Structure 1
């Protein structure tokens, strides 16, 4: 016997799905017509602006108020520019510049690009306070380690995105910045009392709520004092008592992707995770990136089943669907976005570069890029100085597998510029750099979260606070190597 059509439509109204490829398949469009709240676009859905606009138009033809979301943070997390790298610096660079008006302008420009393409929700900004240098998943996505600075820039980012009628989504509540594990792969634990969260992690969320943020994303992190053994995504103490009652948030609560191990393993699958998130107070359930029609139907069936067996109250699911619909109604009021300055992101990235030491006189150096793995959040996006160099030799190596004498032999009399990301936690990175700098002129370019480590004998240490296309250009210019 099939699902009750009314209950199925109610369940679909709480779901954000996704689909493969540049053209929405029939099932993805049909589900929108049947009540699916919307879809999240990923890099695989993006080839060029005209194609993206055609895709969103096809979805909107199925239902005018469909939600179309994307993770467009600028910096290291970009979907629109996944093939080249973002033309905007990310949050760490904007935090380093510490010009809140600039942050608002950058996010206005990002929002305007989305609006033109028919995208209605930006799953940004990341408002986590990155207090752990070893954090593997936030890092340069954060405005910094100071709660007040992060709060100010978070509010500015929200104002920028929403000024063009695109809904912002501040993430990841109640704060993913102190973790040293990635919730895509496991359930991280932040074992601190709520008082520490209020002082360290929650000020940016208070700021974005005051700024009128339309949605907030949950974190698949465990805070034992509040969540017990499960993630915040499944915790009424976090989503209702803390977020809604204490902090007064009245918008839409969106889950981080339920396919992530931090949620799916804790619940025993995506379907059970959806039920637990709804019961805890979430409104819009992001299924993930690997989605097909069968999975959407499985999740909807799990929700309908939970309505029947008492795990879910119908009024709670109706409330969630109403909040999802309210978010869609707000985004439909979008006006025509203003024109934006094409060089805005590159100018901002230049202001973020910090140079320790002397970069003068780099005469045709050998540029060595140290391989660094990307997180699932980032995806595989080009980075480095390569696209910006004026006819210089560049090689790419794995730090832990490279002999410094080999690099010296390749360089000969030329200086070496070593380019990397998160060098303080890159396997073999610090050892290679220190050994090389002890016997050869070396300049180091850090394009990740810089941490506290510095090479002992390098001529210079250059920090970009991110690895976007704009950051790479800014670094090449600072070194006098740009073509």
Structure 2
């Protein structure tokens, strides 16, 4: 019995690991029944497509693991290893275009790229309805603020991904779009009862489920009217009540990373793992820093909970049966990478307010610093690759005079990223516009802050495709 319990417990785990080759401990755990792995660029797991394909092939020499990754396209991209931005725009741009066929095409191509390197589950799409403009972690990862718009693109994204032979995972259930706190750092609160959830957050999840999403990811947030202070990932009322019973979902339920403060900050990862399984989760994403030691600690907690009768063995067996099905592809891959879809979407997403100037000489491009959130990571962004004289500014009005002097006699382009969330960006941009009202603002996040009377370009994302589309529009590069 103890061997069976250990095997079932392992089947629920998705740890991370360091490096571009599989460590011995990981291969040993896979042979013993480990569910799979989650690939992280920050761990050095994604050095390039050939090396990644070799890595996943090595994993499959010893088992048939679930190989997952966070590849949303847009701002949250892992395939570039945090060195290169994505050739596909993210959800905000796709929502701005509002062509579900195009969304399906983009996700099909993205899925084809994942399948080519051996990834069989993508932690995407994000189907959160972003109703909080100041949301620090969703933003351009969302298709928009209208539930019906998000729903039709959620269905298209799921369909496109799975047409490429990769399982789609709709996230972050029951919806992270109405929060103003990052669940990496705390437990966000969504003040919504079941009626509001049904009209807003749950609409896209219904669509994703109807489209056949093989997995759904839970969020580490609190809905006081439903969970009573417990994060959704640990709440039977959310996982079993809302997702299983209310929405009728029968596929795999996977947690967001358990190392996040919103999940385990108060109780630790091993206890969080047990509570998530008790709540109804099937797969536990442990997080980028959780390797061999964490696997051992979590296994001890789970097997101990079974031994004492706290966690029914039947609950583990139920989870394992679902995850076993997830190992099988959702269909024969019938797609090839189509990066032209990404650039097409980025071009169609551009929105211009005012009349663009014609630059007689290359303009000075000033990019105002804006670090991505934890989910985004250190991926490069901006128009710098297309501008021979681009400058990065910290975001202080004191920098304005020097920049204005440097731009004397030529055009000025000011590049922002979520300026509505960064006071320094707004302050410096305002100072520059006072001196140079002819400057062009390029917003590469959500276009919430738009100074009246300014020529404004919204890209709805900072992916490589968004940058190229904006550069073409401004004639910074050949089309």
TM-score bracket, shorter-length normalisation: over 0.9
Segment drifting more, 337-346 vs 196-205: 337-346
2:458 corresponding residue in structure 1:
463
Q: 1:313-356: CA deviations, max 9, x gaps?
A: 11111111111111113x2x643443333322111100001011
Q: 1:248-285: CA deviations, max 9, x gaps?
A: 1000000000000000114x101001001000000000
Segment drifting more, 337-346 vs 49-58: 337-346
2:77 corresponding residue in structure 1:
78
CA RMSD, Structure 1 to Structure 2 (Å): 1.3
Work out which of the residue numbers 36, 44, 63 in structure 2 matches 1:38: 36
User: Displacement, 1:401?
Assistant: 6.5
1:418 corresponding residue in structure 2:
414
2:307 corresponding residue in structure 1:
308
Question: C-alpha separation between the residues in 2 aligned to 1:425 and 1:50?
Answer: 38
Work out which of the residue numbers 468, 472, 477 in structure 2 matches 1:473: 468
Question: C-alpha separation between the residues in 1 aligned to 2:46 and 2:338?
Answer: 23
1:370 corresponding residue in structure 2:
368
Q: 1:160-217: CA deviations, max 9, x gaps?
A: 0011221000000000000000000110001122211111111000001111111000
User: Displacement, 1:468?
Assistant: 0.3
SS in 1 for 2:396: helix
Work out which of the residue numbers 400, 404, 414 in structure 1 matches 2:400: 404
Question: C-alpha separation between the residues in 2 aligned to 1:254 and 1:137?
Answer: 19
Count of residue correspondences: 473
1:102 corresponding residue in structure 2:
102
Question: C-alpha separation between the residues in 2 aligned to 1:378 and 1:27?
Answer: 29
Q: 1:35-77: CA deviations, max 9, x gaps?
A: 10000111121111110111001111111x2100011111001
Structure 1 position 271 matched with structure 2 position 257: no
User: Displacement, 1:428?
Assistant: 1.6
User: Displacement, 1:4?
Assistant: 3.1
Question: C-alpha separation between the residues in 2 aligned to 1:192 and 1:294?
Answer: 38
- In structure 2, relative to structure 1, the CA distance for the partners of 1:290 and 1:401 (3 Å cut) is farther
Question: C-alpha separation between the residues in 1 aligned to 2:68 and 2:397?
Answer: 40
Structure 1 position 238 matched with structure 2 position 238: yes
Question: C-alpha separation between the residues in 2 aligned to 1:29 and 1:478?
Answer: 49
Segment drifting more, 92-101 vs 110-119: 110-119
Segment drifting more, 8-17 vs 435-444: 435-444
CA contact (8 A) 2:125 2:158 kept: yes
1:332-481 → structure 2 map (5 Å cutoff): 334-363=331-360, 364-389=362-387, 392-400=388-396, 402-440=398-436, 441-451=438-448, 453-458=449-454, 460-481=455-476
2:139 corresponding residue in structure 1:
139
User: Displacement, 1:29?
Assistant: 1.5
TM-score, length basis structure 1: 0.96
1:21 corresponding residue in structure 2:
19
Question: C-alpha separation between the residues in 1 aligned to 2:339 and 2:128?
Answer: 28
Segment drifting more, 42-51 vs 308-317: 308-317
Question: C-alpha separation between the residues in 1 aligned to 2:435 and 2:393?
Answer: 19
CA contact (8 A) 1:9 1:36 kept: yes
Question: C-alpha separation between the residues in 2 aligned to 1:339 and 1:111?
Answer: 9
- In structure 2, relative to structure 1, the CA distance for the partners of 1:74 and 1:421 (3 Å cut) is same
Question: C-alpha separation between the residues in 2 aligned to 1:431 and 1:362?
Answer: 25
Question: C-alpha separation between the residues in 2 aligned to 1:212 and 1:179?
Answer: 27
SS in 1 for 2:135: coil
1:159-178 → structure 2 map (5 Å cutoff): 159-178=159-178
Structure 1 position 287 matched with structure 2 position 283: no
TM-score, length basis structure 2: 0.96
User: Displacement, 1:402?
Assistant: 4.1
SS in 1 for 2:72: coil
SS in 2 for 1:86: coil
Question: C-alpha separation between the residues in 1 aligned to 2:471 and 2:338?
Answer: 22
Question: C-alpha separation between the residues in 2 aligned to 1:287 and 1:136?
Answer: 22
Question: C-alpha separation between the residues in 1 aligned to 2:339 and 2:182?
Answer: 34
Name stretches of at least 5 consecutive residues in structure 2 with no aligned partner. none
User: Displacement, 1:8?
Assistant: 1.5
User: Displacement, 1:360?
Assistant: 2.3
CA contact (8 A) 2:106 2:338 kept: no
CA contact (8 A) 1:434 1:457 kept: no
Question: C-alpha separation between the residues in 2 aligned to 1:91 and 1:375?
Answer: 16
User: Displacement, 1:403?
Assistant: 2.7
SS in 2 for 1:223: coil
Name stretches of at least 5 consecutive residues in structure 1 with no aligned partner. none
Question: C-alpha separation between the residues in 1 aligned to 2:22 and 2:444?
Answer: 35
Moved segments of 4+, more than 4 Å = none
Q: 1:73-104: CA deviations, max 9, x gaps?
A: 11001110232100000000000000000000
